[in-house]
Amino acid sequence: MPDAVFLPHQSPSTRAFRMALAICVIAFVTIAGAWFFQLVLGIQPCPMCLEQRYAYYIAIPLAAVLAMAAVNEAPRSLLVAGFSVLFCLTVFNGAFGAYHAGVEWGFWPGPTECTGSAVDFGNPGNLMENLKTAKVVRCDEVQWSFLGLSLAGYNALISALMAALAGWGLLGLGRRRQV
């Protein structure tokens, strides 16, 4: 195994392992950060934010399995299929994050159902009290930003990075070994 991280002469399985491991780590750190913002800092996610997390919940175990498969010299077709799924998943999630950021910036309207979670009214006698305490998290309002980007914007960038890594992993698998 070469000492440098990305050498052009590395074997396809070595590149596949490194790309899958990088995607797994990036996805894990990103979702851990999202949970930190929610549970520690109290920034509640909107419905679109929660939907963007699904890609990470799929990418983490899939990338981990791909990394293990690459180490064990799994068939090329299995690695190509796994990286193809990761590529499509992260490209879609990046586009969804960019769409959400556009909703936050007011470039286009968001979905009408994106007005917060439903409230369980329970006893109708407590309706007014329940309405007063219900916190509505809107998709078109930025709750946190850094350097002019919201969490949705950062999701778009991180997903684009993971898509690039998945694409690079695919490109490495496309080359046949020379004998």
CATH of the domain at 32: 1.20.1550.10
Number of structural domains found in the chain: 1
pLDDT band at 21 (very low <50, low <70, confident <90, very high): very high
Domain housing 129: 12-174
pTM: 0.78
> Nearest CA to 87 among 105, 106, 107, 63?
63
Residue 9 pLDDT more than 60?
A: no
3-state DSSP assignment of residue 56:
helix
Angle, vertex CA 85, rays to CA 82 and CA 91, nearest 5: 140
Average pLDDT over residues 121-150: 68
The larger pLDDT score, comparing residue 131 to residue 158, is at: 158
Cα 91 versus chain centre, distance:
9
**Cβ-Cβ contacts under 8 Å for 119 (sequence gap 6 or more):** 130, 131, 134
Two tokens at 170? 């695919």
Specify the DSSP element, H or E, that contains 150.
strand 149-150
For 39-76, the pLDDT digits (tens) are 999 988 998 999 999 999 999 999 999 999 999 989 99
In a domain, 3, yes or no: no
Q: Which of 92-96, 103-107, 129-133 has the highest mean pLDDT?
A: 92-96
In a domain, 77, yes or no: yes
> Using CA atoms, how far apart are residues 98 and 168, in angstroms rounded to an integer?
22
Q: How many CB atoms lie within 10 A of CB 17?
A: 22
For 107-120, the pLDDT digits (tens) are 888 787 774 444 55
CB contact at 8 A, 18 and 6: yes
In a domain, 103, yes or no: yes
pLDDT at 110 (0 to 100): 79
